[in-house]
Amino acid sequence: MQRRIGVIGGSGVYQISGLDGAQWRRVDTPWGAPSDEILTGRLAGVEMAFLPRHGRGHVHSPASVPFRANIDALKRLGCTEVIAVSAVGSLRADFRPGDMVVLDQFIDRTSGRAGSFFGTGCVAHVSLADPTCAALSAACTQALRAGGATVHEGGTYLAMEGPQFSTRAESRLYRSWGCDVIGMTAMPEARLAREAELCYASVAMVTDYDCWHDGHGAVDVAQVIAVLTANAGTAKAMIAALPGLLGPARAPCPCGCDRALDHALMTAPERRDPALLARLDAVAGRVLAP
């Protein structure tokens, strides 16, 4: 099977360069329009698809990011895996601004966001015990280290609703829960990637210490942008290195991400809603197609 690597760029990452045959493409989905057009092309002979999560110019607030359309569009374009890049606040002293964290767990405190492709007329329950792909995450770690980044392998991300930053009491609470970093977008993105049977790796750049650290002022956007700008090359170097590490051919995922729906569907075939099934053509076509 041919590989296509999807990349979702977070705050400060609105494009990638160096693609052969680069083209911004509009992709329509049954879940509405994605955050922006998607930049496709080849890097070191591997098909790529890049989508800026907030849109070019940072148009979408965390709550208005069309997460379902974004994941559907990447799947529809033939992506086999998604690397999500995010800016995060650190909830621990040893995760410093400029460091990279390859996340492996999430606590979801968002509210009111559409968090599933499934629902009435086609119910499914996928496992989220391990919400990221260990194999893809290991490749991201390797690519980051090759570029000289300081990398923390594993970390728990507190997904907050925002758009305001946390209160000090919230920040302290999340630290007491054992969370390592905080951001506003990894959920429901990670849930939806799993439902769409995409390998998902979440790579976070630490930009600040949120507001719990006595030795640092409370986070503001200027601080986040300054750290993102100073370290702009880090995520880009990782993306440039990944095609060489992964190669153009894709084998079955050793973690089973590409088979997440094998035992997830609950609704009896004769009770399924044809309209919902039609919307699921890309994300669940493997298990629903007649």
Ligand X SMILES: CSC[C@H]1O[C@H](OP(=O)(O)O)[C@H](O)[C@@H]1O
Ligand Y SMILES: Nc1ncnc2[nH]cnc12
Annotated binding site: 11, 53-54, 86-87, 184-185, 208-210
Q: What is the radius of gyration, based on Cα positions, of the chain? A: 18
Site residues for ligand X per CB under 6 A: 10-11, 53-54, 62, 86-87, 183-185, 221, 224
Distance CA 48, CA 106 (A): 26
Judged by CB under 6 A, the residue of 47, 189, 210, 258 near ligand Y is 210
Q: At which residue do the structure tokens 């069309």 appear?
A: 66
CA angle 198, 108, 149 (to 5 degrees): 65
Asked if 94 is an active-site residue, the reply is no
Q: Total residues at the site for ligand Y (CB under 6 A)?
A: 13
Supply the minimum distance, in Å, between the C-beta of residue 33 and ligand Y: 24
Question: Judged by CB, which is closer to ligand X: 66, or 183?
Answer: 183
Instruction: Identify whether 208 is a catalytic site residue.
Output: yes
Q: At what angle do helices 232-246 and 221-230 cross, to 10 degrees?
A: 50
Look at residues 282, 212, 243 and name the one whose alpha carbon lies nearest to residue 83.
243
The count of C-alpha atoms lying within 13 angstroms of the C-alpha of 245, restricted to the half-sphere facing its C-beta, is 20
Q: Which of 29/185 has CB closer to ligand X?
A: 185
- Give the contact letters, 179-208, x = binds to ligand Y (CB under 6 A), - = no: ---xxx----------------------xx
Query: What tokens appear for 30 in the block?
Result: 């049954």
**What residue ranges bind ligand Y (CB under 6 A)?**
87-89, 160, 165, 182-184, 207-208, 210, 219, 224
